[in-house]
Structure 1
Amino acid sequence: MLKLASIEKAYKTAGGSVPVLKDLSLEIEGAGFCAILGPSGSGKSTLLNIIGLLDRPDSGQVFLDGAPADFASAAEAARLRNRLIGFVFQSFQLLPRLTAWENVALPLLYRNVPRKDRKPQALAMLERVGLGDRAEHHPNQLSGGQMQRVALARALVSNPRLLLADEPTGNLDSVTASEALTLLRTLNRDFGVTIVMVTHDRDLAMTCDRQIEIRDGRIIADTRRQ
């Protein structure tokens, strides 16, 4: 599903170029649940942005679904993101003026799904994450856990092959975080979607099928749960 080959990435600062990712290669098979683990500044968020085609590497290549990603064309990168990738963020990033179902339906709008089909698909996905009775609620009427479920429904409504989750439980209490992780595992199993989750929480990472640890822009450990 995902392959990175010799990825290099540096950022320019007033003091010069700062390397973030260093000759990083990685392959993640389909339908896996993988955690990318590392402390702040290790490069894990930069790596997630490159995987999600939100940033481009200085050198190296990204392959999604067996094909090389075209970073040279912003339109093609956007098309690939919309077709293959769903995103879940720590801050949820729901639009406050939209109801839950309207937030979930946004990716369908970008994929030119007919208007008459968007609401039924959004409602069905909210049912899948246990929020069918909150479809007409706005984000300020939902708890943190409920907003995370809306964000998950939005990420999955267009049936992506790859789901990228950036600290998805970071703003949740321990009980709600555990529920969110259980839901992620259920969706991983039921939808067959590959999940790559960035976290600094080692205990959370250990519940995933695979743990990839990054430090100073390099992979220092790659283990699978027995």
Structure 2
Amino acid sequence: MTRILLVDDQALVRAGFETILSSEPGFEVVGQAKDGAEGVRLAAELQPDVICMDVQMPVMDGLEATRAICASDSHAAVLMLTTFDREDFLFEALSAGASGFLLKTAEPEQLIDAVHALARGDALLSPEVTRRVIERFAAQTAPAGAGSRPTTPDTSADLSPLTDRERETLLLLARGRSNAEIAKELFVGEATVKTHVSNVLLKLGIRDRIHAVIWAYEHGVIAPRG
């Protein structure tokens, strides 16, 4: 059973999400919070597997709440409900530790698929998000936003713990490839790719696929547009 916590300041939105998610076999909505502070408290109390988190809320916003949850001993994966017209939210959420992003205009099936993905331990890295991450690093700007000074990648990364296959997997991850696409390029099965991805994350101490992309660019493993 996948335990889900909903964090949104709009009661109607929470009710809609609960209706959608509760209809899926194996899903259980275990709690609802009306602001980020309550979300942090319920995350510790209920220990959900997935948290659907709004961005803009009173008391404590979703970014701060996500940062607090990911810094705690919670094992929950955070799915950020966001819009791409506020790109600063996207990169702040990445930095905070969110594992997935979904537009609030998405279809119900997409919400269900997103929760399934995070519950499996995957990250929801859509092509749109991948492009924005790559574009951000291609521009060599810091996530802080306008006025940031150009940054230089830290090339001190030690990839020695990785096998050659795992390094290839990391490079393809950094280019936003899916497991199926990586399997096709490396001529292996998807189960093998999943093993390689898990090993990469474990050996490098990276939270998930999204942060593997960021890590690879920050450490100069792959050059922007490279």
TM-score, length basis structure 2: 0.32
Q: Which has the higher strand share?
A: 1
Structure richer in helix, relative to its length: 2
